[in-house]
Protein backbone atom coordinates (compact mmCIF):
# COMPACT_ATOMS: atom_id res chain seq x y z
CA UNK A 1 0.00 0.00 0.00
CA UNK A 2 1.50 3.28 -1.06
CA UNK A 3 -0.57 5.55 1.15
CA UNK A 4 0.10 5.80 4.86
CA UNK A 5 -2.98 5.90 7.04
CA UNK A 6 -1.06 6.74 10.15
CA UNK A 7 -1.32 10.33 8.99
CA UNK A 8 -4.71 10.77 10.64
CA UNK A 9 -7.50 13.30 10.16
CA UNK A 10 -9.22 16.11 12.08
CA UNK A 11 -12.75 16.10 10.73
CA UNK A 12 -14.49 18.97 12.47
CA UNK A 13 -14.44 21.71 15.10
CA UNK A 14 -13.03 20.23 18.34
CA UNK A 15 -12.15 16.95 16.60
CA UNK A 16 -15.37 14.95 16.65
CA UNK A 17 -19.17 15.13 16.73
CA UNK A 18 -19.07 15.10 20.57
CA UNK A 19 -16.72 18.15 20.45
CA UNK A 20 -14.23 16.60 22.88
CA UNK A 21 -11.26 18.67 21.57
CA UNK A 22 -9.08 15.75 22.64
CA UNK A 23 -6.46 13.75 20.78
CA UNK A 24 -4.81 10.49 21.84
CA UNK A 25 -1.70 11.58 19.92
CA UNK A 26 1.26 13.62 21.19
CA UNK A 27 1.86 17.14 19.86
CA UNK A 28 4.69 17.50 17.32
CA UNK A 29 7.77 19.64 17.84
CA UNK A 30 7.01 23.33 17.32
CA UNK A 31 10.66 24.29 16.79
CA UNK A 32 10.16 25.17 13.12
CA UNK A 33 7.19 24.87 10.75
CA UNK A 34 7.27 22.15 8.09
CA UNK A 35 5.74 24.70 5.72
CA UNK A 36 3.65 27.87 5.62
CA UNK A 37 0.95 28.27 2.98
CA UNK A 38 0.46 31.94 2.09
CA UNK A 39 -0.15 32.02 -1.69
CA UNK A 40 -2.85 30.65 -3.95
CA UNK A 41 -2.39 28.79 -7.26
CA UNK A 42 -1.77 32.14 -9.00
CA UNK A 43 0.80 33.27 -6.45
CA UNK A 44 -1.62 35.77 -4.90
CA UNK A 45 -1.49 36.25 -1.15
CA UNK A 46 -4.26 34.47 0.76
CA UNK A 47 -5.79 36.18 3.78
CA UNK A 48 -7.04 33.46 6.11
CA UNK A 49 -9.57 34.12 8.89
CA UNK A 50 -7.24 34.79 11.81
CA UNK A 51 -9.12 32.93 14.55
CA UNK A 52 -10.62 30.14 12.42
CA UNK A 53 -9.89 26.44 12.71
CA UNK A 54 -9.08 24.00 9.91
CA UNK A 55 -10.31 20.53 8.91
CA UNK A 56 -7.70 17.95 7.94
CA UNK A 57 -8.28 15.00 5.61
CA UNK A 58 -5.75 12.30 4.77
CA UNK A 59 -4.20 14.38 2.00
CA UNK A 60 -5.41 17.97 2.29
CA UNK A 61 -6.03 20.68 4.87
CA UNK A 62 -9.33 22.49 4.23
CA UNK A 63 -9.92 26.10 5.15
CA UNK A 64 -11.41 29.28 3.75
CA UNK A 65 -9.71 32.56 2.92
CA UNK A 66 -9.78 35.54 0.59
CA UNK A 67 -7.60 36.64 -2.31
CA UNK A 68 -7.41 40.08 -3.92
CA UNK A 69 -7.94 39.43 -7.61
CA UNK A 70 -8.15 41.98 -10.45
CA UNK A 71 -11.97 41.90 -10.25
CA UNK A 72 -12.06 42.33 -6.48
CA UNK A 73 -11.82 40.21 -3.37
CA UNK A 74 -12.73 36.56 -3.88
CA UNK A 75 -13.44 34.13 -1.05
CA UNK A 76 -12.54 30.48 -1.58
CA UNK A 77 -12.44 27.10 0.05
CA UNK A 78 -8.84 25.92 -0.27
CA UNK A 79 -7.50 22.35 -0.29
CA UNK A 80 -3.85 22.50 0.73
CA UNK A 81 -1.47 19.58 0.25
CA UNK A 82 -0.35 18.16 3.59
CA UNK A 83 2.95 17.11 2.02
CA UNK A 84 3.97 20.38 0.42
CA UNK A 85 1.73 23.18 1.73
CA UNK A 86 0.82 24.06 -1.86
CA UNK A 87 -2.76 24.71 -2.99
CA UNK A 88 -4.15 21.59 -4.65
CA UNK A 89 -7.42 23.25 -5.65
CA UNK A 90 -9.83 25.95 -4.61
CA UNK A 91 -13.51 26.72 -5.05
CA UNK A 92 -15.19 30.17 -4.84
CA UNK A 93 -17.64 30.74 -1.99
CA UNK A 94 -19.63 33.70 -0.69
CA UNK A 95 -17.83 36.04 1.72
CA UNK A 96 -18.43 35.17 5.37
CA UNK A 97 -20.28 37.79 7.43
CA UNK A 98 -19.04 39.39 10.67
CA UNK A 99 -15.53 37.90 10.30
CA UNK A 100 -17.05 34.50 10.87
CA UNK A 101 -14.63 31.84 12.15
CA UNK A 102 -16.00 28.58 10.85
CA UNK A 103 -14.20 25.25 10.80
CA UNK A 104 -15.18 23.11 7.76
CA UNK A 105 -16.50 19.59 8.45
CA UNK A 106 -15.46 16.39 6.67
CA UNK A 107 -18.09 13.76 5.88
CA UNK A 108 -15.88 10.67 5.54
CA UNK A 109 -18.68 8.40 4.33
CA UNK A 110 -19.71 10.80 1.57
CA UNK A 111 -16.04 11.71 0.84
CA UNK A 112 -17.00 15.38 0.99
CA UNK A 113 -16.02 18.49 2.90
CA UNK A 114 -18.66 21.04 3.93
CA UNK A 115 -17.69 24.71 4.16
CA UNK A 116 -19.74 27.86 4.58
CA UNK A 117 -19.76 31.44 3.29
CA UNK A 118 -22.45 34.11 3.66
CA UNK A 119 -25.71 32.25 4.29
CA UNK A 120 -24.68 29.21 2.24
CA UNK A 121 -23.28 25.76 2.88
CA UNK A 122 -21.04 24.21 0.20
CA UNK A 123 -20.54 20.45 -0.04
CA UNK A 124 -17.41 19.71 -2.08
CA UNK A 125 -15.58 16.49 -3.01
CA UNK A 126 -12.59 15.80 -0.74
CA UNK A 127 -10.44 15.18 -3.81
CA UNK A 128 -11.35 17.77 -6.45
CA UNK A 129 -13.09 21.16 -6.72
CA UNK A 130 -16.39 19.47 -7.54
CA UNK A 131 -19.40 21.13 -5.91
CA UNK A 132 -21.84 18.38 -4.84
CA UNK A 133 -24.47 20.82 -3.63
CA UNK A 134 -24.93 24.19 -2.00
CA UNK A 135 -27.82 25.24 0.19
CA UNK A 136 -28.82 28.67 1.40
CA UNK A 137 -30.11 29.20 4.95
CA UNK A 138 -32.45 32.03 6.02
CA UNK A 139 -29.71 33.96 7.84
CA UNK A 140 -25.89 34.13 7.65
CA UNK A 141 -23.74 31.41 9.19
CA UNK A 142 -21.57 33.11 11.83
CA UNK A 143 -18.95 31.30 13.92
CA UNK A 144 -21.02 28.08 13.76
CA UNK A 145 -19.60 24.87 12.31
CA UNK A 146 -21.72 21.97 11.08
CA UNK A 147 -21.90 18.52 12.65
CA UNK A 148 -22.24 15.35 10.55
CA UNK A 149 -24.77 12.90 12.01
CA UNK A 150 -24.33 9.33 10.82
CA UNK A 151 -25.58 6.22 12.59
CA UNK A 152 -27.41 2.97 11.82
CA UNK A 153 -30.70 4.74 12.59
CA UNK A 154 -31.16 6.41 9.24
CA UNK A 155 -29.70 8.34 6.36
CA UNK A 156 -26.88 10.82 6.87
CA UNK A 157 -27.77 14.27 8.17
CA UNK A 158 -25.95 17.54 8.69
CA UNK A 159 -26.96 19.97 11.43
CA UNK A 160 -26.06 23.68 11.48
CA UNK A 161 -27.35 26.88 13.06
CA UNK A 162 -27.74 30.26 11.39
CA UNK A 163 -27.15 33.66 13.00
CA UNK A 164 -29.53 36.01 14.72
CA UNK A 165 -27.42 37.16 17.63
CA UNK A 166 -29.82 39.63 19.21
CA UNK A 167 -33.18 38.77 17.66
CA UNK A 168 -35.26 35.63 17.79
CA UNK A 169 -35.20 34.21 14.26
CA UNK A 170 -32.30 31.71 14.30
CA UNK A 171 -32.80 28.02 13.59
CA UNK A 172 -31.22 24.62 13.87
CA UNK A 173 -31.31 23.08 10.37
CA UNK A 174 -31.45 19.39 9.47
CA UNK A 175 -29.99 18.81 6.00
CA UNK A 176 -30.04 15.58 4.01
CA UNK A 177 -26.63 14.16 2.98
CA UNK A 178 -27.38 10.93 1.13
CA UNK A 179 -28.76 10.25 -2.37
CA UNK A 180 -32.47 9.52 -2.68
CA UNK A 181 -33.63 5.92 -2.13
CA UNK A 182 -36.85 4.04 -1.45
CA UNK A 183 -36.75 5.23 2.17
CA UNK A 184 -35.25 8.65 1.48
CA UNK A 185 -37.15 11.00 -0.85
CA UNK A 186 -34.64 13.84 -0.37
CA UNK A 187 -31.81 15.13 -2.50
CA UNK A 188 -28.44 15.79 -0.86
CA UNK A 189 -28.48 19.36 0.43
CA UNK A 190 -32.26 19.46 0.95
CA UNK A 191 -33.33 21.21 4.15
CA UNK A 192 -35.54 18.69 5.98
CA UNK A 193 -36.59 21.09 8.71
CA UNK A 194 -35.57 24.25 10.55
CA UNK A 195 -36.33 24.30 14.26
CA UNK A 196 -36.55 27.75 15.91
CA UNK A 197 -33.96 28.24 18.66
CA UNK A 198 -34.41 31.99 19.31
CA UNK A 199 -31.23 34.06 19.23
CA UNK A 200 -28.10 32.25 18.08
CA UNK A 201 -24.47 33.11 17.37
CA UNK A 202 -21.57 30.69 17.14
CA UNK A 203 -23.66 27.73 18.31
CA UNK A 204 -22.13 24.64 16.66
CA UNK A 205 -24.30 21.56 17.27
CA UNK A 206 -22.98 18.25 18.66
CA UNK A 207 -24.26 14.74 17.92
CA UNK A 208 -24.47 11.44 19.81
CA UNK A 209 -24.77 8.42 17.50
CA UNK A 210 -25.85 6.05 20.31
CA UNK A 211 -28.98 7.99 21.18
CA UNK A 212 -29.24 9.64 17.72
CA UNK A 213 -29.62 13.02 19.39
CA UNK A 214 -28.45 16.47 18.35
CA UNK A 215 -27.57 18.97 21.06
CA UNK A 216 -27.32 22.70 20.49
CA UNK A 217 -26.86 25.71 22.75
CA UNK A 218 -28.34 29.13 21.98
CA UNK A 219 -28.08 32.74 23.10
CA UNK A 220 -31.62 32.86 24.50
CA UNK A 221 -34.61 34.80 23.24
CA UNK A 222 -32.86 38.17 23.64
CA UNK A 223 -29.37 38.92 24.83
CA UNK A 224 -30.42 39.75 28.39
CA UNK A 225 -32.40 36.53 28.81
CA UNK A 226 -30.90 33.19 29.86
CA UNK A 227 -29.24 30.98 27.28
CA UNK A 228 -30.81 27.68 26.30
CA UNK A 229 -29.60 24.21 25.42
CA UNK A 230 -31.84 21.94 23.35
CA UNK A 231 -31.85 18.22 22.56
CA UNK A 232 -33.46 17.14 19.29
CA UNK A 233 -33.90 13.71 17.69
CA UNK A 234 -31.64 13.50 14.62
CA UNK A 235 -34.25 11.39 12.86
CA UNK A 236 -37.94 12.04 13.55
CA UNK A 237 -41.28 11.01 12.03
CA UNK A 238 -41.91 14.50 10.66
CA UNK A 239 -38.64 14.64 8.71
CA UNK A 240 -40.35 13.91 5.39
CA UNK A 241 -43.05 16.53 6.00
CA UNK A 242 -40.78 19.47 6.83
CA UNK A 243 -42.13 19.69 10.38
CA UNK A 244 -39.35 20.26 12.93
CA UNK A 245 -39.43 17.89 15.91
CA UNK A 246 -40.33 19.19 19.37
CA UNK A 247 -37.19 19.37 21.56
CA UNK A 248 -36.73 16.27 23.75
CA UNK A 249 -35.78 18.69 26.50
CA UNK A 250 -34.82 22.34 26.91
CA UNK A 251 -32.35 23.56 29.51
CA UNK A 252 -32.53 27.19 30.69
CA UNK A 253 -29.34 28.72 32.08
CA UNK A 254 -29.64 29.68 35.79
CA UNK A 255 -28.09 33.11 35.09
CA UNK A 256 -29.13 35.69 32.49
CA UNK A 257 -26.13 34.89 30.27
CA UNK A 258 -26.39 33.37 26.82
CA UNK A 259 -24.39 30.63 25.10
CA UNK A 260 -22.35 31.97 22.16
CA UNK A 261 -20.48 28.75 21.42
CA UNK A 262 -20.76 25.02 21.24
CA UNK A 263 -20.91 22.37 23.96
CA UNK A 264 -19.05 19.17 24.71
CA UNK A 265 -20.78 15.86 25.08
CA UNK A 266 -19.59 13.04 27.37
CA UNK A 267 -22.17 10.37 26.53
CA UNK A 268 -20.59 7.69 28.73
CA UNK A 269 -21.13 9.93 31.76
CA UNK A 270 -24.49 11.28 30.53
CA UNK A 271 -23.09 14.80 30.63
CA UNK A 272 -22.98 17.98 28.57
CA UNK A 273 -20.69 20.89 29.46
CA UNK A 274 -21.09 24.44 28.11
CA UNK A 275 -19.96 27.96 29.02
CA UNK A 276 -21.65 31.34 28.65
CA UNK A 277 -20.44 34.77 27.61
CA UNK A 278 -21.52 37.52 30.04
CA UNK A 279 -21.03 41.05 28.73
CA UNK A 280 -20.34 42.76 32.06
CA UNK A 281 -18.53 41.73 35.20
CA UNK A 282 -14.73 41.38 35.05
CA UNK A 283 -13.37 37.83 35.04
CA UNK A 284 -16.48 36.31 36.61
CA UNK A 285 -19.15 37.36 34.11
CA UNK A 286 -19.83 33.91 32.65
CA UNK A 287 -20.89 30.56 33.99
CA UNK A 288 -19.98 26.98 33.17
CA UNK A 289 -22.73 24.37 33.45
CA UNK A 290 -22.93 20.59 33.46
CA UNK A 291 -26.28 19.07 32.56
CA UNK A 292 -27.48 15.52 31.93
CA UNK A 293 -27.52 14.56 28.24
CA UNK A 294 -30.53 12.31 28.84
CA UNK A 295 -32.80 14.84 30.56
CA UNK A 296 -31.22 18.31 30.45
CA UNK A 297 -31.25 18.41 34.26
CA UNK A 298 -28.61 20.69 35.74
CA UNK A 299 -25.85 18.98 37.75
CA UNK A 300 -23.98 22.13 38.64
CA UNK A 301 -23.16 25.69 37.56
CA UNK A 302 -19.98 27.58 38.44
CA UNK A 303 -18.82 31.13 37.73
CA UNK A 304 -16.21 31.50 34.99
CA UNK A 305 -14.55 34.14 32.86
CA UNK A 306 -16.65 34.87 29.74
CA UNK A 307 -16.24 32.34 26.94
CA UNK A 308 -17.59 30.98 23.66
CA UNK A 309 -15.02 28.17 23.70
CA UNK A 310 -15.87 24.51 24.32
CA UNK A 311 -15.01 23.08 27.78
CA UNK A 312 -12.54 20.18 27.67
CA UNK A 313 -12.74 17.17 29.99
CA UNK A 314 -9.47 16.41 31.75
CA UNK A 315 -8.61 13.36 33.88
CA UNK A 316 -9.31 13.58 37.62
CA UNK A 317 -12.75 15.22 37.27
CA UNK A 318 -11.30 18.43 35.93
CA UNK A 319 -12.23 20.73 33.04
CA UNK A 320 -10.21 23.20 30.99
CA UNK A 321 -11.86 26.30 29.52
CA UNK A 322 -10.34 28.95 27.28
CA UNK A 323 -11.80 32.29 28.40
CA UNK A 324 -11.72 36.06 28.37
CA UNK A 325 -10.96 39.08 26.27
CA UNK A 326 -8.40 41.87 26.72
CA UNK A 327 -10.59 44.75 27.97
CA UNK A 328 -14.11 45.25 29.36
CA UNK A 329 -12.73 44.25 32.77
CA UNK A 330 -11.78 40.82 31.46
CA UNK A 331 -8.45 39.24 30.51
CA UNK A 332 -7.58 36.21 28.36
CA UNK A 333 -7.13 33.21 30.63
CA UNK A 334 -7.06 29.44 30.65
CA UNK A 335 -9.18 28.24 33.57
CA UNK A 336 -9.16 24.81 35.20
CA UNK A 337 -12.16 23.59 37.22
CA UNK A 338 -12.61 20.57 39.45
CA UNK A 339 -16.00 18.93 39.76
CA UNK A 340 -18.05 16.40 41.70
CA UNK A 341 -21.44 14.97 40.76
CA UNK A 342 -23.25 17.99 42.17
CA UNK A 343 -20.78 20.89 42.32
CA UNK A 344 -17.74 22.43 40.68
CA UNK A 345 -15.16 25.01 41.66
CA UNK A 346 -12.53 27.12 39.98
CA UNK A 347 -9.16 25.48 40.66
CA UNK A 348 -6.71 27.63 38.73
CA UNK A 349 -6.56 30.56 36.30
CA UNK A 350 -3.53 31.26 34.13
CA UNK A 351 -3.90 35.03 34.46
CA UNK A 352 -3.72 35.01 38.28
CA UNK A 353 -1.09 32.23 38.38
CA UNK A 354 1.26 34.19 36.10
CA UNK A 355 0.45 37.69 37.41
CA UNK A 356 3.12 39.97 38.78
CA UNK A 357 1.77 43.38 39.86
CA UNK A 358 4.73 45.32 38.54
CA UNK A 359 3.07 48.78 38.88
CA UNK A 360 1.71 47.90 42.38
CA UNK A 361 -1.84 49.09 41.67
CA UNK A 362 -3.47 45.76 42.64
CA UNK A 363 -4.96 45.54 39.15
CA UNK A 364 -4.08 42.84 36.63
CA UNK A 365 -2.87 45.08 33.82
CA UNK A 366 -1.98 44.01 30.31
CA UNK A 367 1.64 42.87 30.24
CA UNK A 368 1.64 41.73 33.88
CA UNK A 369 0.57 38.15 33.13
CA UNK A 370 1.06 35.53 30.43
CA UNK A 371 -2.01 35.35 28.19
CA UNK A 372 -3.27 31.85 27.45
CA UNK A 373 -6.56 31.21 25.72
CA UNK A 374 -9.36 33.65 25.01
CA UNK A 375 -13.11 33.57 24.49
CA UNK A 376 -12.89 32.73 20.78
CA UNK A 377 -10.10 30.16 20.53
CA UNK A 378 -10.39 26.40 20.98
CA UNK A 379 -7.56 24.54 22.77
CA UNK A 380 -6.79 20.84 22.31
CA UNK A 381 -5.96 18.31 25.02
CA UNK A 382 -3.49 15.51 24.32
CA UNK A 383 -4.20 12.50 26.52
CA UNK A 384 -0.91 10.94 25.33
CA UNK A 385 1.22 13.57 27.02
CA UNK A 386 -1.25 15.26 29.39
CA UNK A 387 -0.74 18.61 27.68
CA UNK A 388 -2.95 21.40 26.37
CA UNK A 389 -2.25 23.31 23.15
CA UNK A 390 -3.73 26.79 23.46
CA UNK A 391 -3.43 30.01 21.48
CA UNK A 392 -3.73 33.55 22.87
CA UNK A 393 -4.12 37.15 21.78
CA UNK A 394 -0.33 37.57 21.78
CA UNK A 395 -0.42 35.16 18.80
CA UNK A 396 1.66 32.55 20.60
CA UNK A 397 0.60 28.91 20.53
CA UNK A 398 1.67 27.37 23.82
CA UNK A 399 1.78 23.73 24.82
CA UNK A 400 1.13 23.61 28.55
CA UNK A 401 1.59 20.86 31.09
CA UNK A 402 -2.01 19.97 32.04
CA UNK A 403 -0.99 18.44 35.37
CA UNK A 404 -2.77 21.31 37.13
CA UNK A 405 -4.35 19.92 40.28
CA UNK A 406 -4.18 22.75 42.81
CA UNK A 407 -4.08 26.57 42.89
CA UNK A 408 -0.30 26.26 43.41
CA UNK A 409 0.28 24.18 40.26
CA UNK A 410 2.77 25.97 38.01
CA UNK A 411 2.12 27.49 34.60
CA UNK A 412 4.53 25.31 32.63
CA UNK A 413 5.08 26.03 28.95
CA UNK A 414 6.52 22.85 27.44
CA UNK A 415 7.02 24.42 24.02
CA UNK A 416 5.61 27.29 21.97
CA UNK A 417 5.36 28.73 18.47
CA UNK A 418 5.05 32.43 17.57
CA UNK A 419 2.73 34.08 15.04
CA UNK A 420 -0.15 31.61 15.44
CA UNK A 421 -3.66 33.08 15.60
CA UNK A 422 -6.15 30.26 14.94
CA UNK A 423 -7.34 27.19 16.79
CA UNK A 424 -4.96 24.25 16.23
CA UNK A 425 -5.88 20.90 14.66
CA UNK A 426 -4.00 17.62 15.15
CA UNK A 427 -3.85 14.92 12.46
CA UNK A 428 -1.39 12.06 12.84
CA UNK A 429 2.04 13.54 13.53
CA UNK A 430 1.01 17.00 12.37
CA UNK A 431 -0.37 20.16 13.94
CA UNK A 432 -1.97 22.76 11.68
CA UNK A 433 -3.06 26.30 12.57
CA UNK A 434 -3.69 29.63 10.88
CA UNK A 435 -1.01 32.20 11.64
CA UNK A 436 -0.10 35.78 10.83
CA UNK A 437 1.79 34.75 7.66
CA UNK A 438 -0.47 31.92 6.47
CA UNK A 439 -1.51 28.39 7.32
CA UNK A 440 1.31 26.71 9.25
CA UNK A 441 2.12 22.99 9.53
CA UNK A 442 4.30 21.33 12.13
CA UNK A 443 5.61 17.76 12.22
CA UNK A 444 6.98 15.46 9.51
CA UNK A 445 5.36 15.44 6.05
CA UNK A 446 2.94 12.53 5.60
CA UNK A 447 3.82 9.66 3.25
CA UNK A 448 3.36 10.37 -0.44
CA UNK A 449 1.30 8.52 -3.01
CA UNK A 450 3.42 6.23 -5.17
CA UNK A 451 1.22 4.36 -7.66
CA UNK A 452 4.12 2.86 -9.63
CA UNK A 453 6.21 2.31 -6.46
CA UNK A 454 9.41 3.85 -7.87
CA UNK A 455 10.04 5.93 -4.76
CA UNK A 456 9.05 9.30 -6.26
CA UNK A 457 5.75 11.09 -6.85
CA UNK A 458 5.37 12.53 -10.33
CA UNK A 459 3.34 12.38 -13.56
CA UNK A 460 4.52 8.79 -14.10
CA UNK A 461 2.21 7.81 -11.25
CA UNK A 462 -0.77 9.19 -13.20
CA UNK A 463 0.37 7.32 -16.34
CA UNK A 464 0.61 4.13 -14.32
CA UNK A 465 -2.89 4.72 -12.91
CA UNK A 466 -4.31 5.30 -16.44
CA UNK A 467 -2.64 2.10 -17.63
CA UNK A 468 -4.11 0.11 -14.71
CA UNK A 469 -0.68 -0.53 -13.21
CA UNK A 470 0.45 -0.31 -9.60
CA UNK A 471 -1.31 0.69 -6.36
CA UNK A 472 -4.37 2.48 -7.73
CA UNK A 473 -6.54 2.86 -4.61
CA UNK A 474 -5.08 6.30 -3.96
CA UNK A 475 -7.67 7.37 -1.36
CA UNK A 476 -7.50 4.01 0.40
CA UNK A 477 -11.25 3.36 0.48
CA UNK A 478 -10.93 -0.19 -0.88
CA UNK A 479 -12.27 0.73 -4.32
CA UNK A 480 -10.58 1.86 -7.51
CA UNK A 481 -12.61 4.53 -9.30
CA UNK A 482 -12.52 8.10 -10.57
CA UNK A 483 -12.27 9.49 -7.02
CA UNK A 484 -8.75 8.00 -6.96
CA UNK A 485 -7.90 9.67 -10.25
CA UNK A 486 -9.31 13.01 -9.01
CA UNK A 487 -7.19 12.82 -5.87
CA UNK A 488 -4.07 11.85 -7.82
CA UNK A 489 -4.60 14.76 -10.21
CA UNK A 490 -5.11 17.22 -7.34
CA UNK A 491 -1.99 15.97 -5.57
CA UNK A 492 0.03 16.32 -8.76
CA UNK A 493 -1.25 19.88 -9.21
CA UNK A 494 -0.13 20.75 -5.67
CA UNK A 495 3.27 19.23 -6.45
CA UNK A 496 3.56 21.36 -9.59
CA UNK A 497 2.48 24.51 -7.73
CA UNK A 498 5.18 23.77 -5.19
CA UNK A 499 7.85 23.28 -7.86
CA UNK A 500 6.84 26.52 -9.60
CA UNK A 501 7.01 28.39 -6.30
CA UNK A 502 10.46 26.96 -5.62
CA UNK A 503 11.55 27.95 -9.15
CA UNK A 504 10.57 31.55 -8.45
CA UNK A 505 12.65 31.83 -5.32
- Residue ranges in contact with Ca ion by CB under 5 A: 357, 359, 361, 363, 365, 450, 452, 454, 461, 473, 475, 477, 479, 484
Contacting residues for 398 by C-beta, under 8 A, at least 6 apart? 372, 389, 390, 391, 392, 413, 415, 416
Q: Which is nearer to Ca ion, 12 or 452 (CB)?
A: 452
Q: Quote the least distance from Cβ 359 to Ca ion, whole Å.
A: 5
Distance CA 450, CA 473 (A): 11
How far is CA 256 from its chain centroid? Answer: 27
Q: Quote the least distance from Cβ 186 to Ca ion, whole Å.
A: 27
Is the Cβ–Cβ distance between 140 and 116 less than 8 Å?
no
Q: Which is nearer to Ca ion, 211 or 471 (CB)?
A: 471
Q: Quote the least distance from Cβ 121 to Ca ion, whole Å.
A: 26
Q: Quote the least distance from Cβ 475 to Ca ion, whole Å.
A: 4
Q: Which is nearer to Ca ion, 6 or 363 (CB)?
A: 363
Q: Quote the least distance from Cβ 66 to Ca ion, whole Å.
A: 33
Distance CA 26, CA 23 (A): 8
Distance CA 399, CA 415 (A): 5
Burial (Cβ within 10 Å: 0-12, 13-18, ≥19) of residue 291:
buried
Q: Quote the least distance from Cβ 463 to Ca ion, whole Å.
A: 10
Is 228 strand, coil or helix? strand
Q: Which is nearer to Ca ion, 31 or 363 (CB)?
A: 363
Q: Which is nearer to Ca ion, 60 or 122 (CB)?
A: 60
Q: Quote the least distance from Cβ 282 to Ca ion, whole Å.
A: 14
Q: Which is nearer to Ca ion, 21 or 58 (CB)?
A: 58
The kind and range of the H/E element at 488 are helix 482-504
Distance CA 312, CA 324 (A): 16
Q: Quote the least distance from Cβ 83 to Ca ion, whole Å.
A: 13
Helix 459-466 with 482-504: angle, nearest 10 deg? 160
User: At CA 30, angle to CA 29 and CA 32, rounded to 5?
Assistant: 110
Closest CA to 16 of 233, 176, 261, 209: 209
Q: Quote the least distance from Cβ 2 to Ca ion, whole Å.
A: 8
Q: Which is nearer to Ca ion, 357 or 466 (CB)?
A: 357
Distance CA 469, CA 474 (A): 12
Q: Which is nearer to Ca ion, 30 or 449 (CB)?
A: 449
Q: Which is nearer to Ca ion, 307 or 330 (CB)?
A: 330
Cite the DSSP H helix spans in 145-300. Answer: none
Q: Quote the least distance from Cβ 421 to Ca ion, whole Å.
A: 27
% helix, strand, coil for the chain, step of 5 = 10, 40, 50
How, if at all, do strands 72-81 and 87-93 pair? antiparallel
Q: Which is nearer to Ca ion, 413 or 462 (CB)?
A: 462
Distance CA 56, CA 7 (A): 10
Q: Quote the least distance from Cβ 472 to Ca ion, whole Å.
A: 8
Is the Cβ–Cβ distance between 81 and 58 less than 8 Å?
no
Q: Which is nearer to Ca ion, 40 or 461 (CB)?
A: 461
Q: Quote the least distance from Cβ 498 to Ca ion, whole Å.
A: 16
Distance CA 76, CA 91 (A): 5
Q: Which is nearer to Ca ion, 270 or 458 (CB)?
A: 458
Q: Which is nearer to Ca ion, 10 or 457 (CB)?
A: 457
300 phi/psi in degrees, rounded to 5: -165, 165
How, if at all, do strands 380-382 and 22-23 pair? parallel
Contacting residues for 481 by C-beta, under 8 A, at least 6 apart? none
Is the Cβ–Cβ distance between 46 and 38 less than 8 Å?
yes
Q: Quote the least distance from Cβ 485 to Ca ion, whole Å.
A: 9
Amino acid sequence: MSTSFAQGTWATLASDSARTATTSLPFPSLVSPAWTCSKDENNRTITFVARAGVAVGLHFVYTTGSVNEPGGTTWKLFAISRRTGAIAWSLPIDAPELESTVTPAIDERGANVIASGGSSLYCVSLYAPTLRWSTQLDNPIVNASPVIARSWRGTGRLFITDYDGFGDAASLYSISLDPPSASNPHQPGDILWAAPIGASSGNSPAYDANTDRVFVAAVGLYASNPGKIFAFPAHAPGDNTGTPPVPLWTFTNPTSNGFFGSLSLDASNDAIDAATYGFSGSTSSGNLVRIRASTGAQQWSVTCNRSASIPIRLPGNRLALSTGIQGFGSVPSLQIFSSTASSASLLWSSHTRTWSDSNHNSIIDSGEFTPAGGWNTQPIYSSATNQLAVCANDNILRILDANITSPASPFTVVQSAPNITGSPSIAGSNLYAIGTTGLVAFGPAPAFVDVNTDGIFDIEDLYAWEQSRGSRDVNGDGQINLADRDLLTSLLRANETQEQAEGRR
